[in-house]
Amino acid sequence: MPGNPNEIKLVNNAMSNATRRKIMNFLLAGDKSTEEIEGEVGKTMLDFHLKLLQQASLIEIEEGTVRLSEYGKNFLKDKEEKGADKTADISQAKPIEITEVRQFLPCIADSSKFRVIANIAPPLGGTLKVLEPLFSRGKYSDKINALIIQKGEIITTIYGTGKVTMTMIKNEGEARESLENLKSTINNAIAKGVAPAPREKVRVEPMELYKYLPQTNCGKCGEQSCYTFAIKLMSDEASIDKCTPLKEKQYALNQEHLQVLTAYI
Ligand code: SF4
């Protein structure tokens, strides 16, 4: 049964994907054949998804029959109970609207990009903290009562007061599109009345990130070696999309691992 940090990471990685969560919930109704699972979630990468769930000890597979392990059942039960607590928190929230996009200023880091200030209403206040797990690279700061979200180059900060700032924005169109995406992600969670379970806080070491990098020291990320790049990832001075070789098919699994690991930094 998962208990140490490495095993917990396997579980978090397995449950970080919507298809795998759907498979787990489908198995709640009872044992299923792989064909039945295929009918529910589709054929794409099904073997891969099942393998990750099995590696995490969440499911057992025997002669084409897939079932939840005891740990998998307890994991879902625990998640459901935590989810019930969070429902109370989020049920207070009302859907948000973008009420104003009021300032475009050149970014300090890159003057060809813009810093945007906008407003949402009603303000989300303390609900922001509960919404943190909606965003793979989201981090709630108690100190400034704000949720900080990184997506590619863009960093969006949503304050409890309703103010929103965005950096490294190309133009007004990109600002409005990013704000609309943000609004729809948050409003979908509010409509469901259930916030995602908080992520486990797991300590990540540079060597662990290095393990999943291509280890070719090609320099395309602008660093001299993959290990230097791993250290930059740790200090949030780089993002994994700067390692373009990772986009190659052979590194698809490595990229997925890195996305999960960097979310814990
Ligand atoms: S681009 Fe990727 S493979 Fe190349 S040095 Fe940077 S991290 Fe390593």
Distance between CA atoms of 86 and 70, rounded to whole angstroms? Answer: 24
> Cis peptide before 123, with omega less than 30 degrees from 0?
no
Average pLDDT over residues 136-154: 77
Q: Is residue 241 part of a domain?
A: yes
- Residues 104 and 130 occupy one common structural domain: yes
Q: Report, in angstroms and rounded to the nearest whole number, the Rg of the chain calculated over CA atoms.
A: 20
Q: What is the domain range of residue 212?
A: 206-263
Q: What's the whole-model pTM score?
A: 0.45
- Residues 84 and 106 occupy one common structural domain: no
- Ligand 1: atom nearest CA of 220 is 1
Q: Is residue 200 part of a domain?
A: no
Task: Give the sheet arrangement for strand 154-159, strand by strand.
Answer: 97-106, 114-121, 163-169, 154-159, 146-151, 138-141
Q: Is 219 in the pocket of ligand 1 (CB under 6 A)?
A: yes
Residue with the smallest CA separation from ligand 1 atom 7 is 226
CATH of the domain at 171: 3.30.310.10
Q: How far is CA 53 from each of CA 61, 202, 211, rounded to the nearest angstrom?
A: 10, 19, 21
Q: Is 223 in the pocket of ligand 1 (CB under 6 A)?
A: yes
Q: Is 214 in the pocket of ligand 1 (CB under 6 A)?
A: yes
Distance between CA atoms of 130 and 132, rounded to whole angstroms? Answer: 6
Final residue of a structural domain among 64, 90, 116: 90
201-212 pLDDT tens trace: 456 678 888 988
What confidence category does residue 22 fall into, taking pLDDT thresholds of 50, 70 and 90?
A: confident
Distance between CA atoms of 99 and 33, rounded to whole angstroms? Answer: 49
CATH of the domain at 240: 1.10.15.40
- Residues 173 and 103 occupy one common structural domain: yes
**Pocket-testing residue among 209, 210, 216, 224, ligand 1, by greatest number of atoms within 8 A of Cβ:** 216
d(CA 137, ligand 1 centre) in Å: 21
Which DSSP category does 162 fall into? S
pLDDT given at position 87 = 40
